[in-house]
Structures are given as structure tokens and as C-alpha cells.
Amino acid sequence: MLFLAFLATFAVDWALSPAAGAATSAPSASSAPASTGPCTVSPTNGCIQGTILDSGRKPAESVGVDVTGPGSFTGSSTTNADGRWSVSIPAAGSYTVKVDQDTLPKGQFLTDAKDAERTVQGNLNANAGTIFQLSDQEGATTDTGATSVTAARFWQQFASGIRLGLLIALASIGLSLIYGTTGLSSFSHGEQVTLGGLLAYVFANQLGWNIWLAGLVTVLLCAATGYLQDAGIWKPLRKRRISLTQLMIVTIGLSIAAQYAFQYFFGASTVRIQQGNPETVTFAGITLTVQSYVAMGIALVVLVGTGLFLAKTRFGRATRAVSDNPALAAASGIDVDRVIRFVWTLAAGLAGLSGVMLGLVLNGVNWQTGLQLLLLMFASVTLGGLGTAYGALVGSMIIGVVVELTNLVLPGDFKYATALVILILILLFRPQGIFGRAERIG
């Protein structure tokens, strides 16, 4: 496929670069002096960095952070006026990052004292980030590991849920349209999200392109992969009248193959699209990064544009007709194959855009980013109603908000299990979803 050939070319160029050779060198015993200045990556060093904000989302200044790693490496840093810290590392490997709790501002505590020390994977010519959260309540952590619920935390998590819902919707709408026009549940759709994030990393980080140009080219390339997939795989299989179950198995195989390809070319570590720590903006008591606000704005514009296209244009109406009844649409003179080809192209492009936005918002992307979101996408599509684009949007917003609010009482990635619970409840009590039509079976 086109994107695999592109990745192969990039991998060969990277393997021949000085950075590749530097990554294999054995680490030596070394130490780095304490620093408050920014760390700059190069082929001979990497950076571990982060931002520490207090319970009021203001920068926590003069907080000490110690880093230890391979070859008896030790380094330290203190947060500056923006709450940022960074440590330069001499070799790739696993590093331990520890916050000196004695240097925390008066009346501020780690939300979980056990989280004062954590492990971070560092790489040469790359940044690795980690975030420590502070609370104004000592011992705010519950027995389950989640912090106490406050109005400020609820409002913050609700805003994060809106953000997550918008970004999931970009991918879910395409997944829903594919199901509506072909009846196929594509398990490889998550890898289109991953592809978008990784290509943006190549263009913006490795090649130094402007982020807007990198994002645009990434979306176009991802859309091209959707076009090529339908032309080379799905249309020939449809002509052979392959069953939907067999086609679904093909998507599972394609998903696994893409995951291994990503891991082979990019490794298992998380890569960052943009260097440096993201700027944060506080608005109405909500603190989000600048990238988050921009991503939400772009997602909203694209989603509204997609909705208007489906509702107001002739081709959009044809797409909805094929989704409702392909046989009747064909009898009405609509070129069903052309519509399906367009849907695959649009879906892949939207998923690629979702990958770019997620990579910027999450400050990193890796080979399984899309896989981790696949359950959320399927839950969103099922909740909204299979095959309906508007249902996918509403379902995504609900899933995004519920998942993030779950983090108020459940720690870490346990929140993603909420999507599975919702999916099971939907199938038990309303399998057609919110906007779906009930159908009689048998």
C-alpha cells in the first residue's frame, strides 16, 4: 500500500542517519547539573520534561525534580515561572522521574503520594513528557486511587470529555458511514487514526514542516489510503460476493498487520508531533492546552461541514440514500460503487485528522493509539445508531463525557472500561441505538 511504501522509505532514511547510530551506543555513567532552562533535543541527546500546576491550575515554581537512568545517570531540574522543568538525557532507555515533595508550594500536595516516582521511556532526538498533578488537600487520594470529587474537578473533566467526544466523533462518523453503505464493521479503522498521528510526527517533527502544512498533507495522504483500500481490496471482494463475516476478518487482519508495521518502523515508544511543552490557557475555570482549544475548534468546524455536506449536497443525499437502502438507491440510478469509494476516502481522511488532533492534544502518539480508541468508537456508533452519521456524533459526545467523568472515581485507563459497560447496556436495552430504527428479526 502507498502508506507502507512511504513508511519504508522513511525508515531507511532514518536508519542511515546519525541519530540511528547514536541510539545504539552504550550509555556511560554521567550526571547532569540542575537546570531551569529548556532542554533542546539533538541526535546525541533527548529530553524528559513536564509541567507542574498547583490545585488552582497556576504554575508551581521552584519544585525539584530528579531523574535517574541507565549507566548511573543522575540529573535534576527545578520548575521555572511557567511551572516547566526539563532534563537532558545522554542515551535512550528507561528513566525514573521523582518529584521532591519537600519543595512543593505551601499547602500543595501530590494527588497521589505514591505517584511521586514514575518510570519514563527516553529516546535520543526526542522529547518524553510526564505530568504531575497537585491538590490542596493532603491525602486526597481515595482507596481506589482516584482523587476526591470537587466542583472544579468535575468541570475540568467535563470539558475534557467534550474535547474527547469531538475528536472521537471525527473517526466515528467515518466508521458509521462505512457500516451504513457496506454493512461492514471495520476493525482496521483505528489504525487510520494511528497513521494520521504518525505521519504528522514525520512531517512536523522529523522533516520540520509547519504544523498546518503537515496536518493538511497528512489528511490528504490518509484519504488516499482509503481510496486505495477500496480500489484494491474492498471493491474486488464485494464483486466476488464475499460475506460480511469474511470481510470483517480481513479488517481484523489488516489491523494487526498495520499495528506491526507501525511498531516496526516507529518503535513501541510514544513520539511527539511538536517539540516543547504545550502552553496552557485557563478559561472559565478550565485549563487546557492551546492545542486542545485549536483541535476542538477544528473538529467542530469539520463536523459541522460534514453534516451540511450530507444534508444539503446532491452527493451527500446520495450517500444517505445508499446508507438507507443500497438496492433501492441503485435502482434509482445512483452509482453505489462510486458512493462507497467516496465514503472510504472521506472516512480515512477524517480518521487521519482525528489522529493528528489526538497526537497534539495527548502530546504524543504511538503504534496502538488508534487501537485504544477503537472500543470508544464502536461504543459511540452503537449508542448513536449504526449507520447514521448524526447518531455517531451524538454517541461520541456522550461517550467522551461519560468516560472522562468516570475518571473522577476510577484511576487511570480504567475509565475506558466504561465504554464497554455502555456498549453492553445498549445492546441489552436498545440495540438500535438512539437514532437507529428497530428492525424485526425472524
In the prediction, which pLDDT does 16 show?
A: 37
pLDDT band at 28 (very low <50, low <70, confident <90, very high): very low
Amino acid at 141: T
The phi, psi pair for 136, rounded to 5°, reads: -90, 10
In the prediction, which pLDDT does 21 show?
A: 36
Task: Please tell me the distance from the alpha carbon of residue 253 to that of residue 273, in angstroms, as a whole number.
Answer: 28
Buried b (16+ CB within 10 A) or exposed e, 294-322: ebbebbeebbeebeeebeeeeebebbbbb
CB 316 within 8 A of CB 342: no
Q: Could you tell me the three cell numbers for 113?
A: 503520594
Residue 400's alpha-carbon distances to 2, 338, 349, 363, 412, in angstroms, are: 32, 33, 21, 18, 15
Q: Which domains does the chain have, with CATH numbers?
A: 39-141 (2.60.40.10), 153-429 (1.10.3470)
Helices (H), 108-266: 151-182, 189-200, 211-229, 235-239, 244-266
CB 231 within 8 A of CB 168: no
Q: Give residue-wise pLDDT tens across range 246-278.
A: 999 999 999 999 999 999 999 888 888 887 667
Task: Please tell me the distance from the alpha carbon of residue 232 to that of residue 273, in angstroms, as a whole number.
Answer: 30
12 in helix, strand or coil? helix
pLDDT band at 141 (very low <50, low <70, confident <90, very high): very low
Higher pLDDT, 427 or 237: 237
Task: Please tell me the distance from the alpha carbon of residue 220 to that of residue 181, in angstroms, as a whole number.
Answer: 22
User: H or E stretch including 379?
Assistant: helix 369-384
Task: Please tell me the distance from the alpha carbon of residue 291 to that of residue 289, in angstroms, as a whole number.
Answer: 5
Q: Give residue-wise pLDDT tens across range 347-398.
A: 999 999 999 999 999 878 999 899 989 999 999 999 998 878 888 999 999 9
pTM equals 0.72
Average pLDDT over the chain, rounded to an integer: 83
Q: Give residue-wise pLDDT tens across range 207-233.
A: 999 999 999 999 999 999 999 999 999
Task: Please tell me the distance from the alpha carbon of residue 55 to that of residue 52, in angstroms, as a whole number.
Answer: 10
Task: State the average pLDDT over residues 405-421.
Answer: 79
Reference 405, options 416, 393, 389; nearest CA is 416
Q: Could you tell me the three cell numbers for 82?
A: 511557567
Dihedral, 252, 353, 207, 225 alpha carbons, nearest 10: 40
User: Sign (positive/negative) of CA torsion 149, 153, 158, 162?
Assistant: negative
CB 361 within 8 A of CB 278: no
Higher pLDDT, 112 or 156: 156
Task: Please tell me the distance from the alpha carbon of residue 392 to that of residue 399, in angstroms, as a whole number.
Answer: 10
Q: With DSSP H G I counted as helix, E B as strand and the rest as coil, what are the percentages for the chain, rounded to 5?
A: 55, 15, 30
Task: Please tell me the distance from the alpha carbon of residue 354 to that of residue 150, in angstroms, as a whole number.
Answer: 31
Task: Please tell me the distance from the alpha carbon of residue 295 to that of residue 259, in angstroms, as a whole number.
Answer: 25
Write the DSSP symbol of residue 330.
Answer: H
